[in-house]
Amino acid sequence: MKQVDYDVVVLGAGAAGLFCAAQAGLRGPRVLVLDHANKPGKKILMSGGGRCNFTNYYVEPDRYLSHNPHFCKSALSRYTQWDFIALVEQYGIGYHEKTAGQLFCDDKASAILAMLLDECTHAGVQVQLSTSIQALEALDSDDARYRLTTSQGVYTAHSVVIATGGPSIPTLGASGFGYDIARQFGLNVYPHRPGLVPLTVTDHFREVCQRLSGTSLTVDVACGDRIFRDDLLFTHRGLSGPAILQISSYWQMGDVLSINLLPNQEVLTLWREQQHARPKVQVKTWLAEWLTQKLADEWAGDLATRPLSSLSLEEVTSLSERLHHWTIKPAGTEGYRTAEVALGGVDTDELSSKTMESVRQPGLFFIGEVVDVTGHLGGFNFQWAWSSAYASAQYV
Ligand SMILES: Cc1cc2nc3c(=O)[nH]c(=O)nc-3n(C[C@H](O)[C@H](O)[C@H](O)COP(=O)(O)OP(=O)(O)OC[C@H]3O[C@@H](n4cnc5c(N)ncnc54)[C@H](O)[C@@H]3O)c2cc1C
């Protein structure tokens, strides 16, 4: 098979890979992007409910999980959310802030993908799809340091960038390929698990969730010392919604969640204030003023039809405890079928935080989700893809 020589070969035509290729191409080298999927950027297209939450106004290192929380700082500070917003504006892509700094396209996510592909074309980058990578070998040469054997041909490259993401949503072409390559070259890889993922419950809780399926409310959800305030959604299988997706990245099997279903009210105080003013109102009607009727019925339990004035302090204290400190032990997660990201991945100690290059394997770079850096929900994961891609693109 004919061998074609490139300066840089990027594996993965997703968010990080396309952005890295475009930025690197602008500096002059011959850049090739390879992907086994038949289309580029599939996750971008389905991200943010089809509108791509491409970054966040409030990007800070503490919005990322990693065994080394300092690693992401360098890349995030050298290519910031403001840099990416400027690029989006340069392309005339309309966007808006949805909530808490989260920036979404006004129209479709495809605008972001089209922008990345346009940048690649502009920089002379070649994007080749439907190409499976069969082998990556290090060569004994200063020029062509790597040889890639693929279903479409053999390529050599001075630098290889692994931007193949994590294993979430395998139907979109996701794989653990990047972890395998890292291990092949002796790099440590932290065990991975699904993050930003709905949680499942069993037994009695499952029945509760099924009865309340479709109900959503704002809660505080805590796991250990982590707490998030956002919406929770009851589903047929358990719990979802942004609050649960956020906490799922901190949850480990066996952990108990503590959920405050009424974070803006204090049940005991409300009762003290209202038991004399509204003595006859039933508990379920009273609670439905802050919760949905279905939730009020479920949580009021035996007290549902009792008038407010008939409750003892002990009964109200117990009701308050159930509402403000609902504890639940999830049985698991919905797994990579629905997870937005994979936690864990290539150990950041193996990489330079400035260049994203392997410390022990010169010319081999890892960027985006394959690295052990995982963002909170809200555009942080794409920002990591852009920032880490930019960092590597200056040095490939
Ligand atoms: C449903 C969903 C919604 C999301 N919404 C958001 C959001 O709104 N905002 C946000 O910040 N993040 C969001 N994310 C997370 C975000 O999509 C990822 O963090 C981001 O895409 C990671 O970029 P990446 O380039 O590292 O990997 P990817 O974008 O996943 O790209 C990896 C590429 O590598 C290719 N590849 C994989 N294995 C191989 C192989 N063996 N050979 C060749 N090619 C391979 C894949 O086909 C893919 O094209 C969402 C994720 C999902 C699943």
* Domain boundary pick from 333, 355, 372: 333
- The atom of ligand 1 lying closest to the CA of 174 is 37
Comparing 48-52, 90-94, 289-293, the range with the smallest average pLDDT is 289-293
Whose alpha carbon is nearest atom 30 of ligand 1? Answer: 165
Looking at residue 1, what is its pLDDT? 67
Question: Taking Cα atoms as reference points, which of 393, 386, 396 lies closest to residue 15?
Answer: 386
Determine contact, residues 166/370, Cβ cutoff 8 Å: yes
Higher pLDDT, 141 or 23: 23
For residue 388, the CA-to-ligand 1 centroid distance in Å is 14
Question: CB atoms < 10 A from the CB of 338, how many?
Answer: 15
Same domain, 150 and 297: no
- The atom of ligand 1 lying closest to the CA of 370 is 26
Q: Is the CB of 376 under 6 A from ligand 1?
A: no
Domain with 245, as residue range(s), is 199-333
- The atom of ligand 1 lying closest to the CA of 40 is 49
What is the domain-level CATH number for residue 70? Answer: 3.50.50.60
- The atom of ligand 1 lying closest to the CA of 18 is 25
Q: How far is CA 174 from CA 13, 38, 199, in A?
A: 11, 12, 21
Per-residue model confidence as pLDDT tens digits over 129-188: 999 999 999 998 777 899 999 999 999 999 999 999 999 888 887 889 999 999 999 999
Most distant CA pair in the chain, distance: 88
Per-residue model confidence as pLDDT tens digits over 261-318: 999 999 999 898 888 888 898 999 999 998 989 999 999 889 889 999 898 999 999 9
Same domain, 156 and 211: no
Q: Which of 47, 97, 371 to mutate to test the pocket of ligand 1 (most atoms within 8 A of CB)?
A: 47
Determine contact, residues 169/182, Cβ cutoff 8 Å: no
Q: Is the CB of 242 under 6 A from ligand 1?
A: no
Q: Note the residue count of the chain.
A: 396
Same domain, 250 and 301: yes
Q: Is the CB of 51 under 6 A from ligand 1?
A: no
Same domain, 158 and 22: yes
Q: Is the CB of 63 under 6 A from ligand 1?
A: no
Same domain, 171 and 282: no
Whose alpha carbon is nearest atom 24 of ligand 1? Answer: 165
Q: Which of 23, 32, 43 to mutate to test the pocket of ligand 1 (most atoms within 8 A of CB)?
A: 43
Same domain, 182 and 262: no
For residue 359, the CA-to-ligand 1 centroid distance in Å is 25
Whose alpha carbon is nearest atom 27 of ligand 1? Answer: 165
Q: Is the CB of 357 under 6 A from ligand 1?
A: no
Determine the Cα–Cα distance for residues 41 and 1; give it in Å rounded to an integer: 29
- The atom of ligand 1 lying closest to the CA of 13 is 49
Same domain, 206 and 74: no
For residue 164, the CA-to-ligand 1 centroid distance in Å is 8
Question: CB atoms < 10 A from the CB of 381, how many?
Answer: 28
Confidence category of residue 251, pLDDT binned at 50, 70, 90: very high
Looking at residue 240, what is its pLDDT? 98
Mean pLDDT of 236-256: 97
- The atom of ligand 1 lying closest to the CA of 12 is 34
Same domain, 146 and 55: yes
For residue 165, the CA-to-ligand 1 centroid distance in Å is 5
Q: What's the token pair of residue 380?
A: 């942080």
Determine the Cα–Cα distance for residues 17 and 33; give it in Å rounded to an integer: 7
Dihedral Cα 21, 23, 27, 30, nearest 10 deg: 10
Determine the Cα–Cα distance for residues 84 and 379; give it in Å rounded to an integer: 12
81-90 helix and 380-393 helix, angle to the nearest 10 degrees: 90
Mean pLDDT of 372-396: 98
pLDDT at 221 over 90: yes
15-25 helix and 380-393 helix, angle to the nearest 10 degrees: 30
Q: Is the CB of 25 under 6 A from ligand 1?
A: no
Q: 243 phi and psi, to 5 degrees?
A: -60, -40
Q: Is the CB of 168 under 6 A from ligand 1?
A: yes
Same domain, 28 and 167: yes
Looking at residue 351, what is its pLDDT? 98
Per-residue model confidence as pLDDT tens digits over 322-339: 999 999 999 999 999 999
Q: How many structural domains are present in the chain?
A: 2
Comparing 25-39, 59-73, 199-213, the range with the smallest average pLDDT is 199-213
For residue 275, the CA-to-ligand 1 centroid distance in Å is 54
Q: Is the CB of 53 under 6 A from ligand 1?
A: yes
Percent of the chain residues topping a pLDDT of 70: 100
Same domain, 87 and 160: yes
Q: Average model confidence (pLDDT) for the chain?
A: 95
What is the domain-level CATH number for residue 232? Answer: 2.40.30.10
* Domain boundary pick from 283, 299, 333: 333
pTM score, whole prediction: 0.95
Same domain, 153 and 216: no
Same domain, 95 and 211: no
* Domain boundary pick from 333, 366, 382: 333
Q: Is the CB of 48 under 6 A from ligand 1?
A: yes
Determine the Cα–Cα distance for residues 83 and 21; give it in Å rounded to an integer: 17
HEC secondary structure over the chain: CCEEEEEEEEECCCHHHHHHHHHHHCCCCCEEEECCCCCCCHHHHHHHHHCCEEEECCCCHHHEECCCCCCHHHHHHHCCHHHHHHHHHHCCCCEEECCCCEEEECCCCHHHHHHHHHHHHHCCCEEECCCCEEEEEECCCCCCCEEEEECCEEEEEEEEEECCCCCCCHHHCCCCHHHHHHHHCCCCEEEEEEECCCEECCHHHHHHHHHHCCCEEEEEEEECCEEEEEEEEECCCEEECHHHHHHHCCCCCCCCEEEECCCCCCHHHHHHHHCCCCCCCEHHHHHCCCCCHHHHHHHHHHHCCCEHHHCCHHHHHHHHHHHHCEEECCCEECHHHCCCEEEEEECHHHECCCCCEECCCCCEEECHHHECCEECCCCHHHHHHHHHHHHHHCCC
Whose alpha carbon is nearest atom 31 of ligand 1? Answer: 14
Output 310-314 pairs: Cβ under 8 A, ≥24 positions apart. 311/271, 311/275, 311/283
